[in-house]
Amino acid sequence: MWCRWDGAYCRAIPGSAQFPSIPLVLTQERAIPTIIPQLATMRIELSQHTAEVRLHRPDRSNALNEAMWQELRTAFLWADASPEVRVVVLGAAGKNFCSGIDLSMLAGVEARVAHRDPARSHEALRLLILDLQDCLTRIERCRKPVLVAIQGACIGAGVDLVSCCDMRYAAADVQFSVREIELGMVADVGTLQRLPCLIGEGLARELAYTARQVDAGEAQGCGLVNRVFDNHDALHAGVREIARCIAGKSPLAIRGTKEMLNYGRDHSVADGLNYVATWNAAMLMSVDLAESMRAQREQRKPEFDD
């Protein structure tokens, strides 16, 4: 859908009721978002090429209600399309990162998909699940690296959420749990597909079958998190420092590296090697390569275009 926004032609991206669309100004290269989304359940800040996206329902331990699911997609569509964003830090307000899906939303699913024809009801439920999957997959599809800072409880859908991110960092008080089995249901928005790649199939099966808690030490030991920080302040400061380091690298090379890592995870080594050869045949001789070499000769930090 096309519209006018401050004198420019814009394209609307679907969002939440609170933020129904992101205006995009057209250029010869691509559409560029002009404003940061103002969302009901999340907060977004942009500084020094780093977008900080923060879950903001601290009174409910950041349980994922319907608005938050949709606003996650809106936030990461914006981050992916914004040239000035080079890296994303995902965090959460309050003492807990995420307590999973809001149970009131889960309780309302049956009424939401009800239909006199059982087949149509089942179809509606399938489409709902696919839509929730897409809300999280948008994080994984974001071309920019996504770092997540996790404190306190990270339960159920919270594990699905952090599994989509490039790197996970935790405070010492973190507790993970794949909790869906306790509700008598199969985890259906990504944990069972992504967690085995992160921690190994055997441990992923154990956690999914038992719903037992994983503390910070075990999470780091099994590779679920990269690093553990002593407290919440140290966590957020440490993750910001890593994000700043990434933001200083070639944006083109960072995006290509993420593309290759994700592709290699889902394909054979031979396919991955073929893809990166094709990628670099198109992307290697870039302005960023020339600037990096020039900066090394001049013993200074390189300066890259967005």
What number does CATH give the domain 252-297?
Answer: 1.10.12.10
Give the distance between the most distant pair of CA atoms in the chain: 73
Q: With the CA atoms of 89, 94, 98 and 104 taken in that order, what torsion angle do they form, in degrees rounded to the nearest 10?
A: -130
Whether residue 9 has pLDDT greater than 50: no
Alpha-helical runs (H) found in the chain? 66-81, 103-107, 109-112, 118-141, 157-163, 191-199, 201-210, 216-221, 232-247, 251-266, 269-283, 287-297
26, 66, 74, 148, 287 from 253: Cα distances, Å? 24, 35, 25, 21, 11
The token pair at 129 is 């699940």
Instruction: Tell me where in the chain the CATH 3.90.226.10 domain(s) lie.
Output: 37-248
CA 127 from centre of chain: 21
How large a percentage of the chain has pLDDT more than 90? 85
What number does CATH give the domain 37-248?
Answer: 3.90.226.10
Tens digit of pLDDT for each residue in 200-255?
999 999 999 999 999 999 999 999 999 999 999 999 999 999 999 999 999 999 99
Instruction: Tell me where in the chain the CATH 1.10.12.10 domain(s) lie.
Output: 252-297
User: Between 8 and 62, where is the model more confident?
Assistant: 62
How big is the chain by its Cα radius of gyration, in Å?
Answer: 20
Q: Could you tell me the pTM of the whole model?
A: 0.86
Tens digit of pLDDT for each residue in 114-131?
999 999 999 999 999 999
Residue 26 — very low, low, confident or very high, per pLDDT cuts 50/70/90? very low
Q: Is beta strand 50-55 parallel, antiparallel or unpaired with respect to 42-47?
A: antiparallel
Query: Average pLDDT, stretch 189-207?
Result: 97
Query: Is-contact 99 63, C-beta < 8 A?
Result: yes
Tens digit of pLDDT for each residue in 56-110?
999 999 999 999 999 999 999 999 999 999 999 999 999 999 999 999 998 888 8
Distance of alpha carbon 22 from alpha carbon 43, whole angstroms: 15
The token pair at 132 is 């929730």
Looking at residue 34, its pLDDT comes to 58
